[in-house]
Chains A and B, each alone.
Chain A
Amino acid sequence: GNSVTQMEGPVTLSEEAFLTINCTYTATGYPSLFWYVQYPGEGLQLLLKATKADDKGSNKGFEATYRKETTSFHLEKGSVQVSDSAVYFCALSGPQGGSEKLVFGKGMKLTVNP
């Protein structure tokens, strides 16, 4: 079945540091890929998505590129801020299942210190 493997952390960075969170997946065909963010005490929010190979999703300075050849969807940000402290989840849906069935990685907690 489909699965997602991501860095688990926790990770602590200083403000303005570079961030990479690795995410690889296993799926047949071409799934859709997502990054969700969970701020303390809140639900998950969509951060960005990509629905086909070589697509780049971007939002709030974060970027991730759908790499079919390496089955990866790594999240990057050039300069993190204290407000980026949160838990980050990589997830996929489809192609056999629809968007009602997300498969998540275990999440990575990021703390950014001033």
Chain B
Amino acid sequence: NAGVTQTPKFQVLKTGQSMTLQCAQDMNHEYMSWYRQDPGMGLRLIHYSVGAGITDQGEVPNGYNVSRSTTEDFPLRLLSAAPSQTSVYFCASSRAGRWGNQPQHFGDGTRLSIL
């Protein structure tokens, strides 16, 4: 019972490099989201998707790109890494629910350091 799987678990990048954080879910959930977790800030929404082919920006989208070509996968791309993007990144998925009443299921996170 895999749930939400994120890869890699750890990554170190140099400023200006690009990379893709992978996220896959096997629960057939319609909704998927990316958050970043920073000390003292809680989790902040980067991008989200309500279905294949549909994405939208969250609270902190700058410097990130997403696409959703299948229900299962929702990769997050860093276009040109900056030290301010050093963070722990979480992917989450949920069923579509009325008035937001469905809980999100989270992956174990990717710890990303930008030098």
Contact = CB atoms under 8 A, between A and B. Distances in A.
B71 interface: no
Interface string A47-65: 0010100000000000000
Contacts, number: 85
A78 interface: no
B100 A95 contact: yes
B100 A97 contact: yes
Interface residues of B, number: 32
Given A101-B45, A104-B42, A44 B106 contact: yes
Given A43-B106, A43-B108, A105-B42, A98 B96 contact: yes
B106 A99 contact: no
A93 interface: yes
Interface in A57-114: 89, 92-95, 97-107
B97 A99 contact: yes
Interface residues of A, number: 29
Contact of B104 (A8, A51, A102): A102
Interface in B1-49: 4, 31-33, 35, 40-45, 48-49
Given A100-B49, A101-B33, A106-B40, A95 B99 contact: yes
B61 interface: no
Of listed A34, A45, A51, A99, residue having the most chain B CB within 10 A: A99
Contacts of B33: 100-102
Interface of A: 8, 30-32, 34, 36, 42-46, 49, 51, 89, 92-95, 97-107
